[in-house]
Amino acid sequence: MKKDRVVTGTFIAIVYVAVFLLAMYVHPIFFDVFIFAITLGGVYEMCRAVSNVMSAPIFLIDLIQVVVGFAAFWFAQYFFKTNASGMTAYFIVLAGTVIATLIITACSKTYVKGNAVSTIFVMLYPSAILMFSVAINYFMTAEIGISVMSALPQRNAGIALMFLVPAFTDVFAYQIGSAIKGKKLCPSISPNKTISGAIGGLLGGIVGAGVVLLLTYFAVTYNVNIFGLGMLTDGWTSTIINFLALGLFGSVFDQAGDLVASFVKRRSGIKDFSNLLPGHGGVLDRVDGFMFCGVFFYMYFAVMLIL
């Protein structure tokens, strides 16, 4: 089991690095495809998990919502070229799919109200939540177009933070929690998590953001292209404060996402969402905190760009 975990962990790390580098230096579409694949796998796993405790979700509707939602996002983003156009199109599709689900279940002799509830739940978690990660990928300069050359500093920092903050949060939470132990954080949801581990995770999130900040400093100071990173504001003081806030609260969202996933698994009576990744569980077991970070980072940078 330990060997499987190491081998799978190495494979996951290689995939993450490859996706990150391709998205930063080649084209944003590589990150989109990565999130799209995660969403498909996550929707399948969530449908299976939810079926254990309530009426089964209508998988075909959830699958259609993912495909049409992503297609609408990409079409709107490439056609209108604004930071919000893709998300607007996606949520229009989501609203339409929710209405269609309610109509189908109301008129069907096969499905009941519970099928509609579970189907809509899967549309929201994980599908809609993961779309915020894709939206970060499109903080672009509209005049130039959609490419790595037109990416705003918030886009590049956001993607870097999405990979590093959850990773450092998890490592620090595990190491510090294992060393100090102490009082449990939420024993009814996740019996292995401790308060000391949660605090360690917050420290890890700040360290992860600090790594991105350090790379930004070198990129700006020496005028080199390091993942397209640049200052988030006009001054270093405010840039540092922003990175610290992103690391701290990004860690909070990462740990919250982990707890939500643990709650769903406990209610569903399962240990992992699937056995797709030996020693690591399923797709959702790997991105449960990652996708909640995406929501926070998108909201944070969207407000920053508006202001």
pLDDT at 143: 54
Distance CA 5, CA 289 (A): 19
Task: List the domain boundaries for the chain.
Answer: 2-306
For residue range 256-306, list pLDDT tens digits in order.
Answer: 999 999 999 999 999 999 999 888 899 999 999 999 999 999 999 999 988
**Is pLDDT above 70 for 162?**
yes
DSSP character string of the chain? -HHHHHHHHHHHHHHHHHHHHHHHHT-THHHHHHHHHHHHHHHHHHHHHHTTTSSPP-HHHHHHHHHHHHHHHHHHHHHH--TTHHHHHHHHHHHHHHHHHHHHHHH-SS--HHHHHHHHHHIIIIIIHHHHHHHHTT-B-TTT-SSGGGB-HHHHHHHHHHHHHHHHHHHHHHHHHHHH--SEEETTTEEEEEHHHHHHHHHHHHHHHHHHHHHHHHHHHTT--STT---SSSSHHHHHHHHHHHHHHHHHHHHHHHHHHHHHHHHHT-SSS-SSBTTTB-HHHHHHHHHHHHHHHHHHHHHHHH-
Mean predicted lDDT score pLDDT of the chain:
93
For residue range 187-233, list pLDDT tens digits in order.
Answer: 889 888 999 999 999 999 999 999 999 999 999 999 999 999 999 99
